[in-house]
Structure 1
């Protein structure tokens, strides 16, 4: 009888131990590792060609880059927890530990580097304009003078053109890039402006094939980096993964896959730490 009591007590202790292990197994540390092998990654959910949530899953260049990096860190695609990282929330999400890293058209700037660290850059984009495919009057930035230029509400893209290039455009703001595209297609506006990578992503969608073209004006430099929590050793590990992605051809393949239909004239893969001003 005494033996049975001891055995029952031991079993109870073992059960409690296993339960505690199971409860704590999925807790992630700053380096993205966990007993449950899960990693949280921030991306955009609404940018075709870069980061988009679709009925089939998640797609885009940033998604492909993040998936490659996660694999090099020891995580399969089924072990990734994708989280929407809106522009205004990115620093807070990293500081709070909601995600281990963010790949979401995240331009490296001195102001942001005060709050988070960046691996990369992994893509050099430029501010550009999207035009109708049959547009012939707009061949250079100066040709935008007097034209109706669309940008998204709250964006600084159109203001950049006025401040840096002294262009006098008729600015029209819509709530979304999709609304700007509709206006461009109908002729209500003459051009849409934001990063060329974002524009290429929209233009590459099947329903817009052959309807738009990029100006290829390269009006500003946008160095996309992968954001990590300040002081995290993930930065060095991600940089190593990005170098591998370029050297084995996966980076070029991802560019062609996501931007090819828009005839996107991308810059060569940037060197790690080479941030163009």
Structure 2
């Protein structure tokens, strides 16, 4: 659950025109900020809650939030409990931007052609997926990069993954040791030279695994941390568990938080 603090009057919405005239903001960013300012103080303003009322996927809302954060309209932090564990994410929303140094919202890299990989059903891995991909023998165009002199592939992908997940922001409220471990697993999967990789005891084409890992953003990483926190059973092989959870994150992220929102709003799963 995420909480927000919004400066507003009761009964009607009072907002400055600043964000409506800010040329740095997209139309979606202006609209979402206006909507957030108009919502009741106790309404769930989490990414998942906003996605639900706007009929948008969580990824879209997350990207708009990043835009507003980069322009100084939103700040976020994660509370830390007395026992040292991390709690809820808190967002502060401002009608006028705080003065921050410009933040890159997208990593700088050359455009590449992507082919959508086969979708893996939410919450499970099926051997049929791997078999079907092998039979089709499709060629997946995974991110290709031109490496400057002196920079190897591992270093280049390490930088890309770090930017994709907004490492510098996540490290401010997530455990650094665990975050670094997750990054190393992602990097290992992306740079793997084998034709297939083992995910949950299933052989998956490396092209699909690589594509999934390069789609992971900060919201997916928070999801992985939540899975670790909420997993009732003791994880015996943490690396295997993290690899499987990371691979599934792009397809299970939305459904997981939709269920959380439904539970919070209606008391149902």
TM-score by length of 1: 0.25
Structure with larger RCO (C-alpha < 8 A, sep 6+): 1
Name which one, 1 or 2, has greater alpha-carbon Rg. 1
Q: Which has the higher strand share?
A: 1
